[in-house]
Structure 1
């Protein structure tokens, strides 16, 4: 690399950047975050990087303090030169990019489909030439750009591409946490002294020099700026700064002192430049002309080294911009924004024009408010929910009519909530609440407040609020009221045993008085009625209507993507509650597909968790594990709360006690903290599974008891099975018999092979002789006709154990051997070990476990291998796993080497259990 003039020290930092460029040139991706306080030299290092990246295509972008609300503003700086490559992308990704950047009128894209499109665009460009993206002032990136760039950065691996971020510390960019970083400190004393001496001609008092070096802490910009404005006397020996202001503030003060000496015309021009974050030089001069400023106004600022006007506006440092804007008066700022608005072409950039107009006044103005509302609509259409919320918030502030202000504040609150800013949403609701609202708007306000509470804390606070909203909406908007009743019932189900006042039965009783559904009724109307029956008249009475709901949901919601994404979890829980393994499977499969196709990465983790549970019960632990891994990758990328129940169930069925206990402890703490009582039942059930497998029946009994203390939807029935076995093994026969009666009531009403099969082997545990054997055989026959292979293996295990106790060793070996093989192939090692011990007791020798590819491949490699085996192309695998096609190919190369094969076709010849 070439040497950048003015660089002192920074040897290790330069080495890190040199290695990054070397890696990118050789086809190994790398991402690096430079962190440091203002003025420490991050931008200088980025210049060094760009100058030395010969052979690479370098694209630069910078966050701007006044553009943080404009969605994808930072990302557009990087992607605009590459958009001619978008035809290489899959259709959904290409469409998402075009919508995000305003190139089409397509509906708002999911931001993570945009992320996949950016990843694909970067990978395509890197195939032609090594690509380096350099992002300065990342702390001021708009959130959509920050999320997308971090998403892409975490998925680069085998592309000739690199990304380097410079971010000020302390930082508010959590999206970059966890990426490789270099933290910049101050210069060493020797280099600091040399830099200071180079900036101050003439003799400098030694004690003053020491004081400046100490107070600057080696910060290069501070060394250059702090002495400016000091008198020769002060520099000669009277330097005595005792200012407690943070360093960034003191540097900014130094810039302010330098600004004070500039002509008034120059300061006005700089203010216009500071208020215009894009750096559009032609826009600056058009605005300047409206203020009567000519090109000569810029000369003093350029001579002082505060700004460059070459092709685009570039300030010496972001603190110069903030110093200019911060020292100006409100009327001065308004004049600058007004000039910028007048100079902005409304046909080319109507949204930025509206934003400048909004900052050009503090007086309510309906014309500007209406323009902002239109901008919000365009921003939302592009997927910029945060930008839409910002436009709407300002529109509400500038609305003169109180009724219109209330309407806009309510819409802005909804946008703020959807953009992940609940505190701001609460403030806007407060504003709306002070305005004259219609009865419908007042009810909508109540519902949104309740939804915010439920979104923040899925506990006992939400059900009464949602129920109140439903009752308020009932005489005004029947459809919205029924939706609110269903939301209240969902909240009460999840709050479960932690409900303090209003539980599912109370909400269900109120919902039976909801306005009648319009005809033909929606699937969510039938879901509400079915669940209301479940919690008012009991399990048995609800079986038939809920079975009809499941059939309707599969049929009707199959064509309604919104209903599937919003409500799929409740029908899936109902299917499990009814022991309907076929519908359970189909709903989870469809939910994953719809969420993938829609790029709905908020809903996808939950759908993946449901699908993982289906695979787990089918004995397909590897597939379940892969889905759990994908789930974690998505929640890590989105920053949403992790959904780890499938991961816990896997650990429990596998019998991995330390991992399962850690997940249980973590999950219980989080569930109680959130007020999510249903989680307590779920973790009790997982504990019962774990310890029944390990043969610690007393501990399993405690977990099963906890799970069965409350009727948790989709949990209690499963837990009753574990309670019967644990209690019978512990000699608690009356407790086992009582649990069996509760189980029989449910399974007989459900009537599926799964339900009747688990009841049969549970009943057999409490019987003797021919009666017991008949029920064991019935269980095996019924479960063999279901999808729940792990329960079929359980039935073989308990039958084999009974046969062994009956001294029918030969018969016992057959069923124990079958159970051992099934559990071992699945990966349920605790249950497999239980079967092995029983086999040994019959005098048989259990077959030694063979090494399979699960011991060779990482979880991600296993998932890629299975998808490739199933015929998916590299781009299709990449889109599903949120990695680039080139990274897929990189992993396939490692997979082939580990498996000692040479082609994808050979993957298909491997046994399914080995992948």
Structure 2
């Protein structure tokens, strides 16, 4: 619930109420707003923040309005254990209300007093929070009692929050009230983007936001009728959805009462997702309908016409389309196609023409296929999938239908529409197919197995790659690369043949006859060499691949794999740049199947570059996208972040090299060097795990030195030196200098390590060197010099939020006889993760709207966070952030 958008004032009011109640004071708050504005969400927020309070939920139900005291039964059922403490008249009144005794209907005043005293008795044990949702549907007796109680909450630790409609009755008039309305445009956009992950057409998004009027329920209802594919440019309509909510049905009934010409124009408006009044006017004339016939729908509040046609709610649009006759839909789409400029908007014209076509038509299908090609060139995978799916439906030739169905299925997989992709695959397999199409179908099956977390995904991908080899070398290379991606996931590690085996298989791939190696081919060669023992060759092939990736425009999967190769080679700038490009490409193309791994790779690299706040934000986004799409299950970035932050207690799970690397970092940071020694040794021993294996070596050296295992430390140093010299990067050589200083005791190596690492983005590794140097100086009795190094390490680790290593530095400072720098108190508190991230972006010159766009927050929310940042840091302008 911490993610409630645009409700800072309301949440603050609830927080204050809860603070007062837990401090022993009675408080009441009335939340008023129209249906769907988020009243229930605010009550859920209160539940989440209730802490030690006893929560008493009540929900008004329209069908129970005639049952006296129905709401009171919900409120007080659990409080009757205190009934014997009430004065006799009140006890008798409540006994009758609850059917414990027979008697005449009790006086409402006595029932109100009894309820107040029951709450007071409960509050003497623990604070009480009463939460009443849909208070407008309470029976009159319960509403009276609750109003009575709410006006008399003073000295008892009882809080009462009632949520009701704007037009609720006056029984609660005069209570402290918070009015909530629709979200602002920025927050509405952010909520919509959370609801439907992936790339949405900007114009369609603006239209939906306008029609929602900021109503959160209207935005959240959207997935009931439209999915991500439908929303990609508006090339989809709700008529194909089977779910119709109660609200939509009510709109359908209102629409049915309109005159037929009006209904036809409303249908035309619903079929045009951009709300263009001029287009609607041209379409109306082609339908033979006077545009003025729209007036009854406007008068009824179903839509408005100004600079654009705006429906009262998105579900009005879906109801208009769903409940229309099929023949009328064909008429409307044909009119819209004729009214659309073929030169200015050929794709939308082709789409309307397709929606107006009932029988197979090759001309229309070919137009859609060309639209799909344009969409893919712009990165619109979801739109391409929609075009190709409809093109397949309209293709008269069985072979052509099978081919287009397969193309549509591939686009659907990349767009995250997996169920639709499975349907299209079955359609493709039902028609005639040549050897290449059958091989592509096997590849698609393998992709679907991968996104479904099937244990045979890697073998399927390898089999498809081998089958494609003599048929399409380019596609075969991509399939091998996909197998490498799958082999690095938890499922692939547990059930696949292993990364080394996949890389060996990929060595059979055939490069183009002209000798110009593709980026995919270079990546495969680099991976194949990396899993072997020739580190010089592996580094050479990796550098060639990285150069090609940085200079070209490869697809997102190749960028992500390049970033992993770069981090394995300790090439920090390449890893940083390629992971950023991979993520931006995944976002802009709408490639939902590639977004979670791109987010995870970027987040892990940000941790190693000392940007944990930004990493945490991406990790949360990856979780949200995985939940929405079911793609991927790669929590390694979260484990690496937890390790560097010193968070123990089950945050690192798994039995593979990446998890063991994270455990080694965590254990070294917490001073549990024996555990770190075992974990780092396991991570390094896994064949083919170049990233985890390489990065575990410095952890292995440190842990072995601290455990007195000289032999292991020297072996690990030798191996680290071999690999680092092959890499030749400042990061790698800096790690060797530090490791050598630990093993030999030559502290000059720490100074060389600082010089080398200062030229890189690897700030945590640099801070580690200061920590290790300080520890060695303290052991040598040079306390003053040690204090300088340790204080620097402590400050850097603390600033980055890496608490485990910060605490280790603090303990060493105290052992050296120095005092750890005191954190500022009072107004200058520690920034939260999100505040630190926003402050960093502001320091880099981004405006509030730009920051909001990156973090899916409104500009107003960013401004709210910035005010808190200024207060905590004791500054008054963004310019001052540069010195912080």
User: Helix, strand or coil: the match of 1:656?
Assistant: coil
- Counterpart of 1:863? 837
> Does 2:681 match 1:690?
no
Paired residue for 1:578, among 550, 566, 569? 569
Which stretches in structure 2 are left out of the alignment for 5+ residues?
1-28, 40-58, 66-133, 138-163, 169-179, 234-240, 273-279, 341-347
Paired residue for 1:701, among 670, 677, 686? 677
Structure 1 segment 507-546 matched on structure 2, within 5 A: 507-517=502-512, 518-536=514-532, 538-546=534-542
The 1-side partners of 2:581 and 2:247 are apart by 58
Superposed CA offset, 1:15-73 (max 9, x none): 32299699xxxxxxxxxxx99999x99xx999989xxxxxx9999xxxxxxxxxxxxxx
The 2-side partners of 1:750 and 1:400 are apart by 57
Query: Contact conserved, 1:497 with 1:710, CA < 8 A, in 2?
Result: no
- Counterpart of 2:338? 346
- Counterpart of 1:568? 559
The 1-side partners of 2:779 and 2:813 are apart by 12
User: Helix, strand or coil: the match of 2:34?
Assistant: helix
Q: Provide closer, same or farther for how the CA distance between residues 395 and 828 of structure 1 changes in structure 2, counting only shifts above 3 A.
A: closer
Structure 1 segment 306-325 matched on structure 2, within 5 A: none
The 1-side partners of 2:365 and 2:685 are apart by 55
> Does 2:34 match 1:17?
yes
Q: Provide closer, same or farther for how the CA distance between residues 220 and 480 of structure 1 changes in structure 2, counting only shifts above 3 A.
A: closer
Superposed CA offset, 1:804-855 (max 9, x none): 4444545544544443344344433332332333333344444434459883
TM-score calculated relative to the size of structure 1:
0.61
Higher relative contact order (CA 8 A, sep 6+): 1
Q: Provide closer, same or farther for how the CA distance between residues 813 and 734 of structure 1 changes in structure 2, counting only shifts above 3 A.
A: same
The 2-side partners of 1:335 and 1:736 are apart by 79
Structure 1 segment 270-281 matched on structure 2, within 5 A: 278=271
The 2-side partners of 1:609 and 1:339 are apart by 48
- Counterpart of 2:724? 747
- Counterpart of 2:544? 548
Superposed CA offset, 1:186-226 (max 9, x none): xxxxxxxxxxxxxxxxxxxxxxxxxxxxxxxxx999xxxxx
The 1-side partners of 2:443 and 2:286 are apart by 47
The 1-side partners of 2:811 and 2:321 are apart by 78
Paired residue for 2:475, among 480, 502, 523? 480
> Does 2:807 match 1:833?
yes
- Counterpart of 1:723? 700
The 1-side partners of 2:739 and 2:330 are apart by 78
TM-score calculated relative to the size of structure 2:
0.62
Q: Structure 1 residue 625: deviation in Å?
A: 0.6
Q: Structure 1 residue 133: deviation in Å?
A: 9.0
Q: Provide closer, same or farther for how the CA distance between residues 756 and 314 of structure 1 changes in structure 2, counting only shifts above 3 A.
A: closer
Q: Structure 1 residue 716: deviation in Å?
A: 1.0
The 1-side partners of 2:205 and 2:750 are apart by 54
Q: Provide closer, same or farther for how the CA distance between residues 865 and 740 of structure 1 changes in structure 2, counting only shifts above 3 A.
A: closer
Structure 1 segment 300-379 matched on structure 2, within 5 A: 345-348=337-340, 350-351=349-350, 353-358=352-357, 360-361=358-359, 366=362, 369-370=365-366, 373=369
Query: Contact conserved, 1:120 with 1:884, CA < 8 A, in 2?
Result: no
- Counterpart of 1:233? none
Query: Contact conserved, 1:138 with 1:146, CA < 8 A, in 2?
Result: no
The 2-side partners of 1:883 and 1:472 are apart by 47
Superposed CA offset, 1:220-241 (max 9, x none): 99xxxxxxxxxxxxxxxxxxxx
Q: Structure 1 residue 269: deviation in Å?
A: 13
User: Helix, strand or coil: the match of 2:652?
Assistant: helix
The 2-side partners of 1:268 and 1:495 are apart by 59
Which stretches in structure 1 are left out of the alignment for 5+ residues?
1-11, 23-33, 50-55, 60-73, 80-92, 94-108, 150-168, 174-218, 222-247, 290-297, 669-676
- Counterpart of 1:636? 624
Q: Structure 1 residue 267: deviation in Å?
A: 12
> Does 2:462 match 1:467?
yes
Query: Contact conserved, 1:526 with 1:549, CA < 8 A, in 2?
Result: yes
The 2-side partners of 1:702 and 1:551 are apart by 36
Query: Contact conserved, 1:512 with 1:532, CA < 8 A, in 2?
Result: yes
- Counterpart of 1:106? none
Q: Provide closer, same or farther for how the CA distance between residues 35 and 410 of structure 1 changes in structure 2, counting only shifts above 3 A.
A: farther
> Does 2:794 match 1:820?
yes
Superposed CA RMSD: 5.9
Q: Structure 1 residue 697: deviation in Å?
A: 2.2
Q: Structure 1 residue 605: deviation in Å?
A: 6.5
- Counterpart of 2:227? 143
The 2-side partners of 1:806 and 1:597 are apart by 55
Q: Provide closer, same or farther for how the CA distance between residues 322 and 822 of structure 1 changes in structure 2, counting only shifts above 3 A.
A: closer
- Counterpart of 1:114? 202
Of 593-602 and 531-540, deviating more is 593-602
- Counterpart of 1:757? 734
The 1-side partners of 2:542 and 2:819 are apart by 48
Query: Contact conserved, 1:496 with 1:710, CA < 8 A, in 2?
Result: no
Superposed CA offset, 1:298-338 (max 9, x none): 9xxx9xxx9999999999x9999999999x9xxxx776666
Structure 1 segment 788-827 matched on structure 2, within 5 A: 788-809=762-783, 812-827=786-801
Q: Structure 1 residue 696: deviation in Å?
A: 1.8
Q: Provide closer, same or farther for how the CA distance between residues 138 and 736 of structure 1 changes in structure 2, counting only shifts above 3 A.
A: same
The 2-side partners of 1:351 and 1:637 are apart by 31
The 2-side partners of 1:583 and 1:487 are apart by 21
Aligned length, in residue pairs: 685
The 2-side partners of 1:491 and 1:372 are apart by 33
The 1-side partners of 2:502 and 2:335 are apart by 57
The 2-side partners of 1:589 and 1:907 are apart by 24
Paired residue for 1:453, among 449, 472, 481? 449
The 2-side partners of 1:836 and 1:425 are apart by 55
Q: Provide closer, same or farther for how the CA distance between residues 722 and 485 of structure 1 changes in structure 2, counting only shifts above 3 A.
A: same
Q: Provide closer, same or farther for how the CA distance between residues 803 and 868 of structure 1 changes in structure 2, counting only shifts above 3 A.
A: closer
The 1-side partners of 2:351 and 2:590 are apart by 28
- Counterpart of 2:122? none
